Structure 1
Amino acid sequence: MSLAANAPKYLVLAVLAAGLGVAVWQSLGPAERAKGYIVNVNEPELSAIGRSGKVLFEANCAACHGLKAAGTDKGPPLVHEIYNPGHHSDAAFFFAAQRGVRQHHWPYGNMPPQPQVSEQQITSIVQYVRELQVANGIPYRPHRM
């Protein structure tokens, strides 16, 4: 038989395989799915502001975003191309910390505001994250839609 004659059978098999893949993915809980987003992060020698930001990050952000902003089962990695400064500016980090942010890239749910962190502290935290990003090959890249 020719490929054209068997095309409907192959199509049915492909749809079944895709459906099975989706079913397996959906059967995993959010924590199991999120583990796939944790990244390895190299920490560079940090600036003075970056070192201050690291201490603040570990105290206020690491419980969800992980040590070195590598991600956890509770929050995404910030050392990720999605957060390059051309896509998520420093202002986006300020907004998220001050007002919270609705889930839009990851399966973790909404991020609540962090009112215990001052603007000056956010500045240091953002500097730390940006230094980690640059050290891990994530420089500014213009966002294209």
Structure 2
Amino acid sequence: MKKFVTFAALLLLAGCEAPDPEERLAALHLPPPGFKGEAAQGAPLFSTYCQACHGADGTGTEQGPPLVNDVYRPKHHADFAFHMAVRDGVRQHHWGFGDMPAVADITPEQTGHIVAYIRREQSNANIQ
């Protein structure tokens, strides 16, 4: 019976097509392989999409937390966390600002540039 179950599972999986790697990345709201975020391109995007809540220089407002803060350092919040926050929103967990809604109409590449900008600002503030 065990061999039959294993064989049936393999047969079922053989009929499934794995998603294209780029489709997978897009579904995760990640840019394509080889993409390199540019902080200079991220600055105006940050102003458009993030500044109202996170402040003009990422130091926070009464509506949202500071992203130029040790809490958001790369070892605690990887770049992937920013992509997930944009795609899905975030439930309040570090601060008392309430939940962050998903950000509509922003591409994975634009988010990648914003992350590069945030990382540059963190580095300038000696946040590693």
Which TM-score applies when normalising by structure 1? 0.62
Say which one has the larger Rg: 1
Say which SS state the counterpart of residue 124 (structure 1) adopts. Answer: helix
Query: How many aligned positions are there?
Result: 92
User: What letter matches 2:74 in structure 1?
Assistant: P
Correspondence for 2:64 among 75, 86, 90 = 75
* Structure 2 CA distance for aligned equivalents of residues 125 and 68 of structure 1: 12
Matched, 1:128 2:117: yes
Does residue 99 in structure 1 map to residue 88 in structure 2? yes
Secondary structure in structure 2 of the residue aligned to 1:69: coil
- Structure 1 gaps, min length 5: 1-47, 140-145
Gaps of at least 5 residues in structure 2 are 1-36
Per residue, is there more helix in 1 or in 2?
1
- 1:1-145 equivalent positions in 2, closer than 5 A: 49-139=38-128
Query: Which whole-Å CA distance do the structure 1 matches of 2:52 and 2:68 have between them?
Result: 15
Spell out structure 1 runs of 4+ moving beyond 6 A: none
Specify which structure has the bigger relative contact order, considering alpha-carbon pairs within 8 angstroms and separated by 6 or more residues: 2
Sequence identity percentage: 43
RMSD: 1.0
Amino acid at match of 1:118: T
Cα shift at 1:60 = 0.5
